[in-house]
């Protein structure tokens, strides 16, 4: 006969589950990017899967494979191509063939006379070099890690899609809150994902194209390259693509093209900067209202954890955390109301 009663056995089993769960989470920490990426892609492509697999009765496995190839073509391959392009461009630059010293001396002279910053160009180049090194790691050295992350991501996504109803039923069954709150969380998670991923992606692409066009019009070298850089930097709420127009304008000033410098600066800070606000307002109305503070803090959270993918994953994670906090507060208030109802004495 067991020395434990029914309640004690359940408590021991629950404690064992928690301990083993923590151990498994620690063991799978290296694959967290894959898991989070699968959740994001599942949220984005779920409506397409429902339309094709359930409404039109297409084979589930075929629809899942179509979605996987679509995400590769639309999201993953362009993102990796842009990264390789940027890294290749940086590595191919022949520093000795560029008049870097002349440029920096002209910019420093202009900054010293007008901005009281005699070492502006030197300090800016040093900071940009450090930032670029941390943001764009070597593709070759991390190729195996990228391939492994994508393989695990799509392996998880395939079964999440083909077993969608079982997967969602399991989430509802083991969710630590009521079904109505779970459905509310799912809707809010969908809106938050769309706002942070699709919305910010549209803004970044638009700003990159506008900046490349502006640089081409005003004669800045390599406008396409800087447009690609602007796409990445647009995910940084504090920095943003318009800030690239500041050093470009200073370069024009240093070369004696004052009017071009003024126009480029106005084009970047006023036009490109306000396009960000205009598009964000439309996206927030149609999808969800993501506060800029969430984007700012999320980026600082995501970059150390996921590298350049943290520009997307950081704000998404922070949004998920705030949604859980909101549901917890709703549950606690509901429990308090029930407790008050039970303790009110009957007349």
- For 57-66, the pLDDT digits (tens) are 999 999 999 9
Structure tokens at 274: 């306000």
DSSP-derived 3-state class of residue 255: coil
Tell whether the model's pLDDT for residue 119 goes beyond 70. Answer: no
What is the arithmetic mean of pLDDT over 250-272? 84
Which has the closest alpha carbon to 268: 210, 204, 190? 210
Q: How far apart are CA 251 and CA 102, in angstroms?
A: 11
DSSP state of 345: P
Contact 299, 168 (CB under 8 A): no
User: Residue 64 has what pLDDT?
Assistant: 92
Tell whether the model's pLDDT for residue 114 goes beyond 50. Answer: yes
Q: How far apart are CA 12 and CA 236, in angstroms?
A: 47
299 vs 74, more confident: 74
> Which of 31-35, 68-72, 298-302 has the highest mean predicted lDDT (pLDDT)?
68-72
157 vs 10, more confident: 157
Which has the closest alpha carbon to 135: 1, 229, 34? 229
Q: How far apart are CA 265 and CA 128, in angstroms?
A: 19
- CB crowding 225-259: b at 16 or more within 10 Å, else e: bbbbbbbbbbbbbeebbbbbbebbbbbbbbeebee
Q: How far apart are CA 215 and CA 224, in angstroms?
A: 9
Q: How far apart are CA 105 and CA 255, in angstroms?
A: 11
Q: Per-residue pLDDT tens for 308-332? A: 566 667 777 787 787 777 777 776 7
**16 Cα distance to chain centroid:** 35
| H-type alpha helices, 73-118 | 77-92, 100-114
Sequence-distant (≥ 6) Cβ neighbours of residue 257 within 8 angstroms: none
Query: Residue 315, Cβ neighbours under 10 Å: how many?
Result: 28
DSSP for 163-205, please give it: THHHHHHHHHHH-SS-HHHHHHHHHHHHHHHIIIIIIHHHHHH
Which has the closest alpha carbon to 244: 217, 279, 208, 199? 208
Is this prediction's pTM over 0.75? no
């Amino acid at each position: 006969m067991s020395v434990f009663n029914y309640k004690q056995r359940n408590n021991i089993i629950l404690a064992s589950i928690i301990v083993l769960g923590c151990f498994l989470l620690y063991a799978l920490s290296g694959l967290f990017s894959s898991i989070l990426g699968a959740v994001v892609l599942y949220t984005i492509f779920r409506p397409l899967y429902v339309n094709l697999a359930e409404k039109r009765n297409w084979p589930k496995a075929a629809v899942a494979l179509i979605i996987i190839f679509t995400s590769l073509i639309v999201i993953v391959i362009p993102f990796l191509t842009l990264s390789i392009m940027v890294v290749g461009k940086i590595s191919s630059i022949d520093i000795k063939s560029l008049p870097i010293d002349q440029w920096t001396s002209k910019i420093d002279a202009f900054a010293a006379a007008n901005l009281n910053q005699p070492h502006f160009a030197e300090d800016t180049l040093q900071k940009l070099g450090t930032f670029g090194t941390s943001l764009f790691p070597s593709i070759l050295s991390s190729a195996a890690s990228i391939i492994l992350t994508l393989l695990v991501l799509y392996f998880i996504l395939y079964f999440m899609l083909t077993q969608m109803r079982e997967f969602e039923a399991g989430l509802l069954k083991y969710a630590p809150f009521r079904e109505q709150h779970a459905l509310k969380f799912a809707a809010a998670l969908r809106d938050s994902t769309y706002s942070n991923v699709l919305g910010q992606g549209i803004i970044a692409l638009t700003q990159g194209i506008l900046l490349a066009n502006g640089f081409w019009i005003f004669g800045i070298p390599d406008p396409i390259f800087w447009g690609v850089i602007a796409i990445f930097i647009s995910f940084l709420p504090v920095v943003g693509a318009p800030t690239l127009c500041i050093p470009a304008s200073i370069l024009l000033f240093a070369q004696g093209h004052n009017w071009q410098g003024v126009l480029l600066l106005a084009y970047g800070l006023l036009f490109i900067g306000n396009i960000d606000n205009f598009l964000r307002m439309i996206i927030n109305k149609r999808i969800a209202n993501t506060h800029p503070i969430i984007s700012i803090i999320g980026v600082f959270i995501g970059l150390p954890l996921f590298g350049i993918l943290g520009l997307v994953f950081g704000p998404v994670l922070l949004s998920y955390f705030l949604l859980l906090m909101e549901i917890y507060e709703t549950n606690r208030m509901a429990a308090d109301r029930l407790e008050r109802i039970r303790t009110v004495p009957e007349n």
